[in-house]
Structure 1
């Protein structure tokens, strides 16, 4: 049984009311009543499934599929990520790289430097993987300069997210490009033109501004313990850069090969292509990186196997709540998707009477808020509106602008039904209100500003 085959027997209005009540109940129980999210999320997910009249014998499959599907993407990624972060930190590598960046860019421009580096990393690499690679460097810079972790982490994370939202080969932009029959080259070109100023306005300016007002200490969660004394003989900066680029290069290889297969440049049945795609998959790429770092920064520098085992054990212990809560968030999102709430919204929003590009943004935004997953929101809205957009006879630039408007809508208002909301908030040590004031606002600004730029391009191309 596939959870997407589950159908509710309720009409549109009851389903929408159930979604609203479920989200408000989650917020009330977690923020006001102070019940742990790992208890509240499964409880409300179960109640939502019953209220939406999901067939009783299918409810557990829906819950488990939502939980397990999210963990399948997150657990190994976060696990290998914290192991890599810990070995980079304890070797002195993170401190060495952060010192080099500060010497090159200066103290005041450190958030800008981290953001620009993240824009480059985020172009070919999915958000979650790039975030796990960048965070140890962000933490090291924050410890070195002070002023709280958010003023450094928010611009960097926003840059990774902006690239993930607007640019192929990331899945949302690719799905919209395919549905709308847009030119992928134009989408990439216009996406870059939109992404960079959008990040600067939403991610950098707001990120630094709010980071200066919400001063949080550098969390110990990701690195598995308090700050270590500086190593008397830290590794070379070039060594750390190569280790950082290793997973990014492998993942980019996977992305390039997949694109070549999808476009017909390579045959999908070539054995060596399949092998390299496995090597370049995110979990395997991070596993290879951890093994390489264990030798380069550990064994080769005189660290024993017992030392490395203890190091990794201590790094993994604190992340269990992060992984479990993120999985529970995926459970809730899965219930909302499979209960038919997405279809109910799509039917309601089909004829909005708004200008075409505005309606695409509105539809994607509401689906995003309701369902909690950007990829599902953009895929559903693109499929819903594709016939109208294709029938409108738009020129190639306008069509590409429509893709970017959909992408912008799929980014707005991440909240408790979005797995990345929990992942980012918990990794940075934020409570829920602080996550709303920082990550939710930044993502919403990215979506809205990116849409406005798309609308300007659409109008100029008319």
Structure 2
């Protein structure tokens, strides 16, 4: 669905957006209305208030909802199924033990974050987070303390890589719009992402974890067993004869667990590398390349991984396929609410985008008299806050500044720094119109207020750190 011609000026649209967010927060935090109901209700009222024709309101609502569900539902479903297998078989504990033995107990959050940075190179934020959840929960239960100490470093690592480093779609699209080198964006963006993660995520998460205690939720994976001496499967369903499965089984090897987790990384890497080479004209879009890219589609890659995990993890030690199916049923039940709330968050953001808030903002901000890199960060930040989508903020801001960047005769390094500044602005201030906000909120078992005090703060410090680093390099070169 294409954006609708704005019915009001930029100021009015911004006031409508601010009022919509305020009403939404009031309904969820004060009235205690269910987040899914509140999001759908406010989305409908916002569409009407913003001047979207009455006949187009249903389409406007389904636009953001269906787009978000299309990308999130399969990832969350497959990710939680995989996570449940890793948890029940003791695979998550094996990986956690290995990481801790390498880094030490005091560096457990660092270990999780480093692993997430590596896995986050080709994997999108939401896919990486759902695959890593059982490992995060296992480590948090083992050492105690707030879940934030372990969850935020990993989630922040995926967020940093997704926002700042090619081949993720946001920085790639911005680089293409500004005619910046994707290779140079990778070379410069990667160290900035790592340093920004360390300063803006790891150090901040330590402070947040000491101040705010978040218990490890049990809705997704239940009370995890220790797993170090094998797993005792007492909730894996019944065997084909109706007999409860209670046998103690040996946990899988570290190599098996690592292989399962690396499988989607490799498959998605096919897609990423081939797409980059085809876009650059190095390869032609042949049939074999299309097949490999299909295998590397995130949803297909996770589907293949779940099938492989079922064979090498699930059907071990006497489990039947019926037992594994029961495990999956128990894993999928609790995520229905997460998927619907995340989709409704996408609906709200979609309504804000279709109402013309983004175009109205860019038109009014295009003449700002300030340094191009500062202008890029501010515009991207305002677009991010107004409509929620980091990708939309990235691509819109890059398109807006492309002509100015061309006229300024910037160097290749400066163009890359401009991309990073835009990505930094599109990262900050994640809130209720961002589907990622709801994903983290529900996965970590946090209410809206706590998510604001933790996730929103961390995303903002991550973006500000990345912008500060890009600005320093800009001034030096």
8 A Cα contact 1:100 1:237, kept in partner: yes
Please give the TM-score of this superposition, normalised by the length of structure 1: 0.97
* Secondary structure at 2:315 match in 1: helix
What's the counterpart of residue 206 of structure 2?
208
Asked whether the equivalents of residues 388 and 430 of structure 2 are also in contact (C-alpha less than 8 Å), the reply is: yes
Q: Which contiguous aligned blocks of 4+ residues in structure 1 show a shift greater than 6 angstroms?
A: none
Q: Pairwise mapping of residues 142-181 of structure 1 onto structure 2 (< 5 A)?
A: 142-181=140-179
Partner of 1:94: 92
Name the structure 1 match of 2:281.
264
Match of 2:401 in 1: 385
Provide TM-score, normalisation by structure 2: 0.94
- State the distance in 2 between where 1:340 and 1:397 align: 33
* Aligned 1:306-317 pairs, distance under 5 A: 306-317=322-333
Asked if 1:335 is matched to 2:332, the reply is: no
Cα shift readout 1:319-340 (whole Å, capped 9, x = no counterpart): 1110000000011101000111
Query: Larger deviation: 315-324 or 204-213?
Result: 204-213
**How many angstroms apart in 2 are the aligned matches of 1:183 and 1:272?**
27
Structure 1 spans left out of the alignment, 5+ residues: none
SS of the residue corresponding to residue 219 of structure 2 reads coil
Q: Give 1:54-453 correspondences, 5 Å limit.
A: 54-223=52-221, 225-228=222-225, 230=227, 231=231, 232-268=249-285, 270-453=286-469
SS at 2:215 equivalent:
coil
CA contact (8 A) 1:8 1:55 kept: no
Contact 1:333 1:371 (C-alpha < 8 Å) held by counterparts: yes
Kept in 2, the 8 Å contact 1:6–1:58? The answer is no
Aligned equivalents of 1:102, 1:193: Cα separation in 2: 24
Contact 2:201 2:462 in 1 (8 A): yes
Is 2:6–2:360's contact at 8 Å kept on the other side of the alignment? no
| 8 Å contact from structure 2 (residues 91, 257) kept in 1 | yes
Q: CA separation in 2, counterparts of 1:244 and 1:4?
A: 38
Change (3 A) 1:282 1:31: same
- Alpha-carbon contact 2:93-2:226 (below 8 Å) kept: no
Structure 1 SS opposite 2:2: helix
- Partners of 1:222 and 1:286 in 2: CA distance: 18
Question: How far apart in 1 are the matches of 2:314 and 2:15?
Answer: 55
- Measure how far apart 1:26 and its partner are: 0.8
C-alpha RMSD of matched pairs (Å): 1.2
What are the ranges of 5 or more consecutive residues in structure 2 without an aligned counterpart? 232-248
Write the distance in 1 (CA, Å) between the matches of 2:95 and 2:469.
Answer: 35
Paired with 1:393 and 1:8, the residues of 2 have a C-alpha distance of 33
Distance in structure 2 (CA, Å) of the matches to 1:5 and 1:433: 31
